[in-house]
């Protein structure tokens, strides 16, 4: 490098124009101290997933910040038949609207989030939640609610700022 390398530069896996499809199996490995400081929508380790499975990975002490919408430690936006299983996240997630400790927003038919644990501090303006913002509080059309499953996942942690709705009772 002729100059100092950029700090906290992370290009999320998957965008709205080129989503991540397929399966990511972390094989139980830890990703420690992931640091993201973004001004983009769809911020997280994965920015935008579609018909995807993410499983068996631990994000330890993640620090994810975005000034835009759809921010999560693991996934910013999940769409259509997504499965997230056996994932652990801890750390801090700060976003604008649709901010979650695991997933920012899930807009999916037959989405499954199961056996996940979230121990994060989450700060967002509207639709903020410790596990996932929009998905669990069901701010989606009624017809899409019944095809979703949140099974045996644990969310602890703290939701600090909410202008709208919250998950797990941390914000009123």
Question: What phi, psi does 84 have (nearest 5°)?
Answer: -125, 115
Q: What is the pLDDT along the chain (172 residues), one digit of tens a residue?
A: 456 655 657 889 999 999 999 999 999 999 999 999 999 999 999 999 999 999 999 999 999 999 998 999 999 998 888 888 888 888 888 888 888 888 888 876 677 777 788 887 888 776 666 544 444 332 222 222 223 334 444 444 444 433 333 343 333 3
CA 117 distance to own-chain centroid: 12
Q: Identify which of 66, 72, 118 has the alpha carbon closest to the alpha carbon of residue 95.
A: 66
Q: Identify which of 157, 148, 60 has the alpha carbon closest to the alpha carbon of residue 105.
A: 148
Distance CA 120, CA 167 (A): 13
126-129 β-sheet, strand order? 71-72, 97-100, 126-129
């Amino acid at each position: 490098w002729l100059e100092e390398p950029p700090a906290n530069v992370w290009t999320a896996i998957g965008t709205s124009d080129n989503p991540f499809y397929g399966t990511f199996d972390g094989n139980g490995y830890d990703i420690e101290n992931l640091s993201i400081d973004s001004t983009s929508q769809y911020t997280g380790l994965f920015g935008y997933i579609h018909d995807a499975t993410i499983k068996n990975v631990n994000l330890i002490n993640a620090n994810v910040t975005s000034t835009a919408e759809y921010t999560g430690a693991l996934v910013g936006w999940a769409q259509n038949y997504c499965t997230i299983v056996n994932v652990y996240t801890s750390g801090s997630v700060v976003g604008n609207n649709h901010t979650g400790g695991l997933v920012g927003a899930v807009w999916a038919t037959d989405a499954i989030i199961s056996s996940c644990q979230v121990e994060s501090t989450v700060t967002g303006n509207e639709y903020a939640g410790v596990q996932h913002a929009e998905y669990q509080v069901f701010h989606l059309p009624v017809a899409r609610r019944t095809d979703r499953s949140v099974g045996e996942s644990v969310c602890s942690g703290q939701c600090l700022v909410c202008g709208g709705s919250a998950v797990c009772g941390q914000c009123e």
